[in-house]
Amino acid sequence: ASAGPDTMRSHACRLVRPPPGSPGRPLVHFGSPDVTNTTTLLLSGDGDTLYVGARDSVLALDVSRDDAISLTHRLDWSPSEKDLEQCGLVSFQADCPNFIRVLQFLNSSHLYACGTFAFSPRCSYIVCSTDSTTLMSLKSEEGRGRCPYDPYQRNTAITVDGELYTGTVADYRGNRPVISRHLGEGSRVDLKLDDSLGWLEDPTFIGSTFIPDEEKIYFFFSEVGREYDFIEKFIVSRVSQICTSDVGGQRTLQKRWTTFAKAQLLCQADGELPYNLIQDIDNLPPAEGAAADDTLFYGVFTSQWSVNSGRSAVCSFSLADIRAVFSGNYKVLNRDSLQWSTRVQEKVANPGECGLHNASDNALRFVKENFLADDSVRPAARGLTLVSTEQNYSKVVVQRVQAANLRLYTVLFLLSDSGFLHKTVLLQDGVHIIEEVQVFESPQPTSSLKLSVPKATVYVGTSDGVVKLPTANCSFYWTCAQCVLARDPFCAWDPAGRECVRVSGVQTALRQDVDGGNVEEACLSASLTLRTRSGPGELVSVSLNEVVRLHCPAMSRLSRQLWERPNSRLSADLYLRLEDGGLMFVATPATLGHYLCRSAENGYQQTMAIYLVRQKSSPVAQTPTSFSWFTRRLVPTQTVAEPGPGPRLLSSEGVVPHQADVKQGHAGPTPSTRGNQGTPRQPQRNLSLWTDGEPLLAPRGPCYLKELVVVSVLLVLCFSVLVTLVLYVVRLRVRTRTAPLGGSAGRDTDRRTPVDQEALSGNKVSSRRNGQVVHGAHGRESACNGTLSGSNGHLPNIPI
């Protein structure tokens, strides 16, 4: 499947990311303190043995088991003390060991290995036994032109019919790049490039591929583009070719390639700067029965321009387009100005054509000077396959997979410098990144990637060791919805076994939708209420006025999280939704209670987290209670209390999303619930969530014991004060009614005469004393201008 021109705009990054060491993506690691720089990998034909070129050693690893990597044999191959001492005079001591950079099969019983060997490259024949338990070195020979001097220089090597074809540098300073052939026998002489005209311009070799139908080997590298007359050196990516039947010219180009030609690989979107630095390449053979022209090359590219800094792109190139470019016109080199031109000239010979070693001297001189194709090789479908702004991809391997619907899909495994492996499927409407696996924790300076199609395994070689992981682990998807939403062509849902299984052969009953990921269509007949994993229930104890943050794991980066509360609306004034899908709020009596988070993707919703937020001082209830709000969305079949000490999370084997939740567009509480929040629907069955014999998420109201005591004491005090005031007022009124206004009290009352007492006890009795009128007790006013005195001549004792 090839992506269209707008693929870079429409690719979807689902990126399910299992934590390192989780069963979702089991990683098998091999490493040892005395084994480093395990970056050159070679896989045996049966896939049971992995040969590794490391520092000062060649290893044979048994990888036949799925859960282990074991060392079967180690061949030590290190420089002598004298070699290290001489190397230390011209280079850093850390670069002087023997770093194995070439490891190839010569035949079924021999390997050929080359290493830097203290900046003096050496090669050796290695005998490997049939059971791969023994490695034995036969002889050592000079490796100049077959292996780089510097361990940091990149190179490429491939063997065809027992002969070694390499792309590397042939001198200590790295100024003589060569593409050469070695180990020829009889008339098969060793060949290399004629560097008199600069056939290569400071190249960085990436990879090489043999195409049997053409008997050609293609080399991929980047170099300085001399055809561009810029102030700054412009780096271009190249593909070059040579024929394996080439034996050099008879007089012209003796022991030199007569079939060498090169062309530019252009990984560029319309209107944008090109991604001109190739990082890695892998070829995808044509499907069974298809022509060799359908062979595709997938390359990872970066850019030298700062505007594209930190971005990487993936482009695919077809063998048919490469052939067409090499069959076209070639640029002409002006020997005086050393400038390339594109003027059309008469072809004396076809550069890159096999069999030119028998051509005339005039023809060989023509191909010697015209080796740069005029046209560039553009991406297949004229569009970029993928552009990443987050990951700097460095390695790629590709595989064609047959899905359950018998359609073929292309799957890419992309390794980034930061240690993540992205599994990607190419679709008609774009690119879908299925998952992300963290292979190593810290960035590695060098790494390699190897794919074993028969064993369905990916191997990653790093500076610290070798990591092995399966191309797919379908058991990680534990529901039909997750299995379909993954859109993984390796995996499909088996309704009979109620599990996500690996696709193998013709299995028409499997449920899968790689192109659309439509859960409703794929899983409706398969029943959504099937085997599930334990739910992520959690109890959160907080203090009042404490900031609470609830996390909600997403099904993928394409999903969105939805938070709900029973009989309540999440107001924006009280709750803050975080970018990672979490929920933040301040703990108050109004915000305590149950919370549920659901992840929605492609019209399907799944419960991801359940929380009960309660106050720390709240006592835990001793009997389980049910809550109906959650069971409206979960169909429980069994409540399981797992034995063992310590608190446990929700154990809900059989608790699955309700079928109603699968409908497109469903989010949050149902309309009936919103309209009648006080009377939620009754559940089909009570659901109790337990921890150590106690209900974990049973709804329990917050405790106000301390507040109740304080309020009660204040209420009693207020009531006492009120009673006291009432009694005082009543007593005061009684005394006011029985005592004469302005009269004396106490002992002066006994001194009044009977006439005075009778006058005071009357209703309206007035008397004139000293010319003033004095009213009785019920009078409205008294004359206070005169002097009041008792009948006995004394001043009355009038209280104030």
Is 772 a domain residue?
yes
Q: Mean pLDDT highest for which of 513-522, 626-635, 678-687?
A: 513-522
Strands (E), 447-536: 448-452, 457-461, 466-470, 491-494, 499-502
Residue 639 reports pLDDT greater than 90: no
The per-residue pLDDT for range 309-365, each reduced to its tens digit, is 778 999 999 999 999 999 999 998 877 777 788 776 677 888 989 998 889 999 999
Give CA–CA dist 619/354, Å, rounded: 87
Does 689 lie in the same domain as 589?
A: yes
Is 563 a domain residue?
yes
Strands (E), 370-477: 372-377, 386-388, 393-402, 408-416, 420-427, 430-438, 448-452, 457-461, 466-470
Task: Give the per-residue pLDDT at 90.
Answer: 83
CA torsion sign for 197, 201, 202, 204 is negative
Give CA–CA dist 296/284, Å, rounded: 5
Give CA–CA dist 621/636, Å, rounded: 22
Task: Give the per-residue pLDDT at 218.
Answer: 98
Q: Which of 632, 661, 695 is the last residue of a domain?
A: 695
Give this prediction's pTM. Answer: 0.73
Does 564 lie in the same domain as 517?
A: no
Residue 661 reports pLDDT greater than 70: no
Task: Give the per-residue pLDDT at 50.
Answer: 96
**Cβ partners under 8 Å of residue 246, min gap 6:** 191, 257, 258, 259, 354, 356, 357
Task: Give the per-residue pLDDT at 765.
Answer: 37
Contact indicator for 204, 221 with CB cutoff of 8 Å: yes
Q: What angle do CA 255, 257, 262 make, to 5 degrees?
A: 160
Is 551 a domain residue?
yes
State the CATH number of the domain containing residue 512. 3.30.1680.10
Three-state DSSP class for 363?
helix
Does 747 lie in the same domain as 644?
A: no
Does 556 lie in the same domain as 688?
A: yes
Number of H helices, E strands in the chain: 10, 46
Does 553 lie in the same domain as 502?
A: no
pLDDT band at 20 (very low <50, low <70, confident <90, very high): low
Give CA–CA dist 31/441, Å, rounded: 15
Residues spanned by the domain of 488: 474-523
Least confident stretch, 194-198, 232-236, 456-460: 194-198
Give CA–CA dist 495/490, Å, rounded: 16
Task: Give the per-residue pLDDT at 108.
Answer: 87
Does 768 lie in the same domain as 626?
A: no
Three-state DSSP class for 756?
helix
Task: Give the per-residue pLDDT at 23.
Answer: 57
Contact indicator for 75, 53 with CB cutoff of 8 Å: no
Three-state DSSP class for 609?
strand
Question: CB burial class (10 A; 0-12, 13-18, 19+) of residue 612?
Answer: buried
- Long-range CB pairs of 498-503 (<8 Å, 24+ gap) are 498/530, 498/531, 499/474, 499/475, 499/531, 500/474, 500/475, 500/476, 501/474, 502/456, 502/472, 502/474, 503/401, 503/402, 503/403, 503/404
* Bridge-based pairing state of the strands 604-615 and 537-542: parallel
Give CA–CA dist 600/564, Å, rounded: 13
Of 635, 648, 633, 560, the C-alpha closest to 596 is 633
Task: Give the per-residue pLDDT at 624.
Answer: 38
Q: 85 φ, ψ to 5°?
A: -65, -40
Residue position matching structure tokens 């937020």: 613
pLDDT band at 703 (very low <50, low <70, confident <90, very high): low
CA torsion sign for 735, 740, 741, 744 is negative
The per-residue pLDDT for range 368-420, each reduced to its tens digit, is 888 999 999 999 988 899 999 888 999 999 999 999 989 999 999 999 988 89
DSSP code, position 348 = S
Instruction: Name which residue leads in pLDDT, 232 or 499.
Output: 499
Is 666 a domain residue?
yes
DSSP-assigned letters across all residues of 198-212:
-SSSS-EEEEEEEET
Q: Which of 695, 721, 754 is the last residue of a domain?
A: 695
Tokens at 635, concatenated: 């169909």
Residue 100 vs residues 121, 616, 782: alpha-carbon distances, Å: 10, 62, 126
Tokens at 399, concatenated: 């595989």
Is 608 a domain residue?
yes
Does 628 lie in the same domain as 506?
A: no
pLDDT band at 707 (very low <50, low <70, confident <90, very high): confident
- How many CB atoms lie under 10 A from the CB of residue 130? 8
First vs last Cα of the chain: how many Å apart?
A: 109
Contact indicator for 317, 297 with CB cutoff of 8 Å: yes
Does 635 lie in the same domain as 778?
A: no
- How many CB atoms lie under 10 A from the CB of residue 523? 25
Contact indicator for 35, 476 with CB cutoff of 8 Å: no
Does 607 lie in the same domain as 486?
A: no
Tokens at 485, concatenated: 């939403």
Task: Give the per-residue pLDDT at 698.
Answer: 39
Residue 640 reports pLDDT greater than 70: no
pLDDT band at 546 (very low <50, low <70, confident <90, very high): very high
Q: Mean pLDDT highest for which of 14-18, 175-179, 335-339, 643-647?
A: 175-179
Task: Give the per-residue pLDDT at 371.
Answer: 92
pLDDT band at 782 (very low <50, low <70, confident <90, very high): very low
State the CATH number of the domain containing residue 543. 2.60.40.10
The per-residue pLDDT for range 147-163, each reduced to its tens digit, is 999 999 999 999 999 99
Contact indicator for 202, 188 with CB cutoff of 8 Å: no
Residue 425 vs residues 8, 299, 452, 516, 688: alpha-carbon distances, Å: 14, 15, 18, 12, 42
Give CA–CA dist 737/265, Å, rounded: 117
Q: What angle do CA 456, 460, 464 make, to 5 degrees?
A: 145
- Name the H helices within 308-400: 319-326, 361-369
Is 556 a domain residue?
yes
Residue position matching structure tokens 């929700």: 650
DSSP-assigned letters across all residues of 655-715:
-EE-GGGGSTT--SS-HHHHHTTTSPPPPSS----EETTEESS---PPP-HHHHHHHHHHH
Is 649 a domain residue?
yes
Q: Mean pLDDT highest for which of 171-185, 642-656, 702-716, 754-768?
A: 171-185
Task: Give the per-residue pLDDT at 317.
Answer: 97
pLDDT band at 604 (very low <50, low <70, confident <90, very high): confident
The per-residue pLDDT for range 458-489, each reduced to its tens digit, is 999 998 899 999 999 898 888 899 899 999 99
Does 660 lie in the same domain as 548?
A: yes
Across the range 786-798, mean pLDDT stands at 38
Task: Give the per-residue pLDDT at 391.
Answer: 87
CA torsion sign for 174, 175, 180, 183 is negative
Give CA–CA dist 512/283, Å, rounded: 27
Tokens at 543, concatenated: 């203090």
H-helix or E-strand containing 727? Answer: helix 705-738
Report the Cα 587 to chain-centroid distance in Å.
Answer: 32
Does 502 lie in the same domain as 584?
A: no
Q: 136 forms bridges with which residues in the sheet?
A: 127
DSSP-assigned letters across all residues of 249-287:
-SSTTTTB-SS-EEEEE----TTS----EEEEEEEEPPP
Does 545 lie in the same domain as 672?
A: yes
**Cβ partners under 8 Å of residue 785, min gap 6:** 772
Across the range 778-799, mean pLDDT stands at 39
Biggest CA-to-CA distance, the chain: 167
How many domains are contained in the chain? 3
Is 488 a domain residue?
yes
- How many CB atoms lie under 10 A from the CB of residue 239? 25
